[in-house]
Amino acid sequence: DSMWKLRLSDWFFTSMGGFPVHRGTPDRDALQSCERLLADGQALVIFPEGTRRRGPVVDELFEGPAYLAGKLQVPIVPVGIGGSEGAMPKGSRGIRPVKISIVVGEPIRPPLPTESGRVGRKGVRALTEQLRQRLQDLFDEAQAEVAGR
C-alpha cells in the first residue's frame, strides 16, 4: 500500500485498475478483489515478493499467487525484470531513467485439486517454490541482457 501514499502514484495505479494490499497482515479485501478479477477472466499482476528487491537473489515469496492459481485453476505467467533496481531504489521519491529488460516465461499450471476440490497446502508450497525458481532464472536472464547492452 506504500505506492498509494503519493498522489501521483496513487492516481497512476488506481487508473490502471490497481488496488493497495496491506502488508504484514492477511488482507482479505485484496484477496477477494484478486479472486473477482480472475473469476471474471481478467489478467492480474502480483509481485509475489511483496516489495522491491535488492541484490541478485529471488528470496522467499508469499504464497498468495500460488493459492489463487490453485483455487481458481489459472496459470501463473512469471516475469523477470532486470535493471529495475536503479530506476527507483528503496527510499527514493522519483523514478530514474534506466535501461531495463523484461523476460516473460512460460505459464506455470497449478496442480489439480484433490478429491476435496482444493489444492492443499503442500501443493501451494510446491507451486510457490517452482515460481521462485522460475523467477530466479528469468531475473538472471534479464540481468544478463541489461549487462550485455
Q: Return the domain boundaries, the chain.
A: 2-147
Confidence grade of residue 97 (pLDDT, cut at 50, 70, 90):
very high
% of residues, the chain, pLDDT over 70: 97
DSSP helix/strand/coil, 8:
helix
Alpha-carbon span 3 to 96, nearest angstrom: 16
Confidence grade of residue 111 (pLDDT, cut at 50, 70, 90):
very high
- φ/ψ of 17, rounded to 5, equals 90, 10
Does residue 124 register a pLDDT over 70?
A: yes
pLDDT digits (tens, 9 = 90+) for 75-94: 999 999 999 888 887 777 77
Q: Is 87 left (phi over 0), alpha (psi -120 to 50) or beta?
A: alpha
- The answer to whether 121 and 127 are in contact (CB under 8 A) is no
Give the single-character DSSP code of 108: B
